Structure 1
Amino acid sequence: MSRLVMHVDLDAFYAAVEQRDRPEWRGRPLVVGAEPGRRGVVATCSYEARRFGVHSAMPIAEAVRRLPAETVYVRPDMARYAEVSRDIMRVLGTLSPLVEPVSIDEAYLDVSGLERLIGPPEVVARHAKAAIHAAVGLTASVGIGPNRLIAKLASDARKPDGLLVVHPEEVRAFLDPLPLAALRGVGAVTARRLEQAGLRTVGDVRCRPLEDLRRRLGARTGTQVHLQSNGIADDRVHPATERQSISKETTFAEDVVDTDVLRDTLRWAAQEVGYLARHAARKGAVVTLKIRLHPFETHTRSRTLAAPTAEDRVIFDTAWDLYRADTHAGRAVRLIGLGLSGWAQTPVQPDLFADKDTREGNHPDDRLDATLDAIRLKFGRHCIQRGLARRP
């Protein structure tokens, strides 16, 4: 029996949560991110805003120029989004024991064998969408295919609220008309090299000999592009507890020099990585910063912490220190992201010279998290949130 992988992607997740909870905002362009008049980026936006060409990671000033006056702008409420995400992951866990969250709003599932329990793949996908909507009132786009690549491309194909199943015998017909950018690892430079060879679609690439692709793109990239164009990719789903690292990155539509934009982007990445680590009951001791400079120069820098953590603030501060200490700081950035790894295998030895509360695991941030959770439990989840202070 062939493997079946499902990719679930919530539609405009942050914005959808805001519109769900504020009905008067439904149908209006809505931006979650920095406030107008301040430096920063769009974290995400509603589909009504996307019609004006606004997208994630766009500088907020550019978004304001494009959007109409009735647009709603809100700051991210990460605690609320994380709560909704946990509810969604619990729903997905009732469908399959193999669920791999890859972000706060998307996950892969191994749904092989569910035909006997639920029905054909199309029925499994509809069941997942209906279960998510019943639990949290949000729509998700779902794709099913024989591996991760096809499942992800299938969920992207019919957003929002989409559903597409690509059976093994349909893979080539599905891939062939797609643009080059659909393939993982094909950025602007790689696409330009392929286009110079007269290649415009995935089907064009598939028909080109492997050695020609390796000669044009290098052995590693050429091989990866060749395999993907033939629909060959990883079909394994790794539960969060088995992942060697958790990472989040963003590729900007235009190269970014503004340090406020880069700092805000790293802050959102740290919040998503921290959430996924806590969801998996993991703490990591290694924070890694990844930056890709113009035109395609990629650098990674890592730092080992004194103690493993899953705290958003620690992850962000470490990544930002790595950026500021890097000799490439100030150059135009095409991609930025961070990762957490080096999972703690045994209980961490406390600092014997720390104060009593810290020795017992009651770090001030931990105590604050626990206090905020207790207040929300008593008075409602929206009553209090952490503040994010901007550095001078």
Structure 2
Amino acid sequence: MEKAMYSKEKVRIVVHLDVDAFYVAAERELRKDWKGRPLAVSQYNPYGSLDKMGINDPARILYDGEKGNMHVQKQGRNVNGSLIAVSYEARAKNIQRNDRGLVAIQKCPNDLVIVQVPVSNGKANLTMYRDASQRLLSRLVSHMHQAVKELSIDILGGRNDSETNNIHISVEKASIDEVYFDLSKPIEQLCECLCKNEEYWVLLMDRLMRNKGELKAKTTIGGLESEKDMATNRLSKNEIRKGSHLQTLDSSSSSSADVAEQLWWRRGDGNSINDSGWTIQELSLAVGAWITLQARQALTDEFDGVYTLSAGISTNKTMAKLASGLKKPNRQTLVNPADKHTLQKLFHPLPIGRLRGLGGKFGDQVSKILGVQTVGELAQIPLRTIQQTFDEDKALWLSEMAQGRCCDPLKDRTKSKRIGAGKTFQGNLSIRGYDSLRKWIGNLALEVFGRVAAEETRYPKTLTCWLHLQNVSDEREEEKGGRKTNDGHAASLSASIPQNITQPQCTDLALKLAKQIIDRVTNEKNQAFSIIGMEVSASNFVEKDETQSTILNAFRKQKSRQSTEFSVPDTTRERLKKKPETGTSSYLSSVITKAQRSVVCTDTGIQEKTPEVSTVYRAKRAHSPVMASTTVIGAPVDKIDVDMQYARRLQELFDKEHQALQSIPKTKRRKMESQQLISSFLTKSNNG
């Protein structure tokens, strides 16, 4: 029966992975001796010194219980900052997120370690955490592909080895410590073969059962837990984050729950899929659980146990995310939404706000209009009733969500969809003048620009400035834009930005947006204001054109002391060295600096890997954006000058060349060698 059904039944398998106590783990990666000790990460002191504090600065260690409490006496208020991350060992000591440092020390004086986040530009510097996140994601993707490949080869043999190398797994980075994987395609291919050949089924069961003890021990079947364990599900996000669920997770499961899980796994036994008690969906979930376990364990082993992950395996993003939080840390939970008992026990008791997409104003609106507080209450309302209040799409989405059938696709991305930098200003630190506004907007814009510049394959099209102002009059509230808050008014404005925006232009635009927000919220220009929060962000990323990037990389290489290997025609080199006919008043003074864009002219015989930057001639940016900040490497100082007329002509030729390249189909452009493109461009520039 299952064989006949399989061609019509498309099972979706989504995995949500969450790094356990991520910020704490990132700190432990730097200091392996902190592993196993209660550890907390503290916010920086906004009232103290805001001097730069790097990741290896010993001053970041605010308290170490093994060395006594001398740090408390010495650093005073610094150690009493708010805790933004707490290890599970610290949570076991009843230390919670948002606790003050001195409160945490009283709870665990002898073993606790408190470390402060790095600081730069007068604010927290999260670069080390972002780098750790990207490094983990890259390795996790690799381990997930490897687990799929190993399972496919073990079961299907070498005949499908070429297919396993090309299996696509969708990956969506949800946050700095969360990621979704869609394993539907590889599992679908595998299960299709299992249904056609009983020999493959035996091989799969042998593979799963070989690790059955470990798989069963580290995988919980959602909905079969004891009542004590299930109580965790009814906690709020903040309660779970604080560690309130540890009291239930540390309790032993009831014997009935253990028996239920054993029976679920035993139903998978059989000589073929027809003999098995599993449905296709349950089989797919079990395979997904095995793949996830292998990838999680491989990542933990690679980093010597510093990083552990909790996982949820289900048929959609909502259920997978819900499942991953049920058995933290270092556990995984499998949830089958097709099981009505599981939905009633696991999903329906949830408050509306726990669902993805319903945690804000829309969730409050749904709760108020429909008179529901839990998912189960929403599930009992007919679709027709919901459609009377909400449009057809929203009504259908709400109804499907309440039944555990959310079909939101994964957005295949491994990078954040926005890059932002923000800061809050407490009490008398609030921004009250344009000089301070200009300073902090400049700091935030500088950080955003630097992170955007590091992106090699994409660029943003939108720049946004967000401000949170206090002591704002309620008059003409609807005209201000943004939203009213308990302590003021928050609003944002966005603007389009070009691909080649410069750092000063980025800062000026962000400042312009900030001033427009202030004028709008305060109702008139030059009125007093008080800013308690601000953020600058870049978003709406698009992929860079591959052909354009090939040419631009020759001029905008971000490594000022590394030579780019490409050929420059002799005639072009001679023209660059030729003294311009016009006077020298057209040229700016030469300076030694890091070049953002470089033309590398290497004479025959020069083989230095890191040639010295002899001189940087800055052409007027208004006349030649391409030649601005041009560096000439490997040529005598007295023989090199940049002709302004030549620079303008070079810019014109570049624009024409780029337009011509854009007319070539993208698939054809990909096949063209970058060396040929650059040579063609430089040859035309010489002939011109």
**TM bracket (short chain):** 0.5 to 0.7
- The answer as to whether partners of 1:33 and 1:41 remain within 8 angstroms in 2 is yes
- The answer as to whether partners of 2:337 and 2:405 remain within 8 angstroms in 1 is no
Is 1:135 aligned with 2:145? no
Mapped to 1, the partners of 2:399 and 2:378 lie a distance apart of 7
Letter in 2 for 1:74: Q
- The answer as to whether partners of 2:13 and 2:315 remain within 8 angstroms in 1 is yes
- The answer as to whether partners of 1:142 and 1:164 remain within 8 angstroms in 2 is yes
The counterpart of 1:3, out of the listed 9, 12, 19, is 12
| CA RMSD across the alignment | 5.1
Q: Equivalent residue for 1:294?
A: 485
Mapped to 1, the partners of 2:447 and 2:314 lie a distance apart of 30
Mapped to 2, the partners of 1:273 and 1:214 lie a distance apart of 45
Q: Percent identity?
A: 23
Residues 140, 210 of structure 1: CA spacing in aligned structure 2 closer, same or farther, 3 A cutoff?
same
Q: Equivalent residue for 1:389?
A: none
Q: Equivalent residue for 2:45?
A: 35
Q: Equivalent residue for 2:457?
A: 281
Letter in 1 for 2:378: V
Q: How does 1:62-73 map to 2 (within 5 A)?
A: 63-64=100-101, 66-69=103-106, 70=109, 72-73=114-115
Letter in 2 for 1:326: I
Letter in 2 for 1:167: N
Mapped to 2, the partners of 1:268 and 1:8 lie a distance apart of 31
- The answer as to whether partners of 2:352 and 2:358 remain within 8 angstroms in 1 is yes
Letter in 1 for 2:596: T
Normalised by the length of structure 1, the TM-score is 0.67
Normalised by the length of structure 2, the TM-score is 0.41
Is 1:160 aligned with 2:301? no
> Secondary structure in 2 aligned to 1:92?
helix
Instruction: Point out the structure with the larger strand share.
Output: 1
Is 1:340 aligned with 2:539? yes
- The answer as to whether partners of 1:33 and 1:44 remain within 8 angstroms in 2 is no
Measured after TM superposition, the shift of residue 303 of structure 1 is 2.4
Structure 1 unaligned spans of 5+: 363-392
Residues 3, 247 of structure 1: CA spacing in aligned structure 2 closer, same or farther, 3 A cutoff?
same
Letter in 2 for 1:122: A
Residues 67, 107 of structure 1: CA spacing in aligned structure 2 closer, same or farther, 3 A cutoff?
same
Mapped to 2, the partners of 1:337 and 1:207 lie a distance apart of 43
Question: Number of residue pairs matched?
Answer: 350
> Secondary structure in 1 aligned to 2:373?
coil
Letter in 1 for 2:598: E
Residues 93, 190 of structure 1: CA spacing in aligned structure 2 closer, same or farther, 3 A cutoff?
closer
Measured after TM superposition, the shift of residue 4 of structure 1 is 0.8
- The answer as to whether partners of 2:448 and 2:537 remain within 8 angstroms in 1 is no
> Secondary structure in 2 aligned to 1:226?
helix
Mapped to 2, the partners of 1:320 and 1:50 lie a distance apart of 42
Is 1:21 aligned with 2:30? yes
- The answer as to whether partners of 1:247 and 1:339 remain within 8 angstroms in 2 is yes
- The answer as to whether partners of 1:91 and 1:135 remain within 8 angstroms in 2 is no
Measured after TM superposition, the shift of residue 154 of structure 1 is 1.5
Is 1:145 aligned with 2:193? no
Residues 41, 274 of structure 1: CA spacing in aligned structure 2 closer, same or farther, 3 A cutoff?
farther
Letter in 2 for 1:238: K
Q: Which moved more, 1:36-45 or 1:222-231?
A: 36-45
Is 1:175 aligned with 2:342? no
- The answer as to whether partners of 1:144 and 1:165 remain within 8 angstroms in 2 is yes
Measured after TM superposition, the shift of residue 276 of structure 1 is 9.7
Measured after TM superposition, the shift of residue 163 of structure 1 is 0.8
Larger radius of gyration: 2
Q: Which moved more, 1:143-152 or 1:336-345?
A: 336-345
Residues 288, 221 of structure 1: CA spacing in aligned structure 2 closer, same or farther, 3 A cutoff?
farther
Structure 2 unaligned spans of 5+: 1-9, 49-77, 119-124, 146-168, 191-203, 209-286, 432-436, 467-481, 522-528, 557-586, 600-612, 614-688
Instruction: Point out the structure with the larger helix share.
Output: 2
Letter in 2 for 1:124: I
> Secondary structure in 1 aligned to 2:372?
coil
Measured after TM superposition, the shift of residue 211 of structure 1 is 5.0
Q: Equivalent residue for 1:246?
A: 417
Deviations 1:268-308 (A, max 9, x none): 9998998799678322131235675437x985521233435
Deviations 1:183-233 (A, max 9, x none): 123236555552686523211111123454466677776554333212233
Letter in 1 for 2:115: Y
Measured after TM superposition, the shift of residue 331 of structure 1 is 7.9
- The answer as to whether partners of 1:141 and 1:162 remain within 8 angstroms in 2 is yes
Measured after TM superposition, the shift of residue 162 of structure 1 is 2.9
Ranked by relative contact order (alpha carbons within 8 Å, sequence separation 6 or more), the top structure is 1
Residues 90, 75 of structure 1: CA spacing in aligned structure 2 closer, same or farther, 3 A cutoff?
same
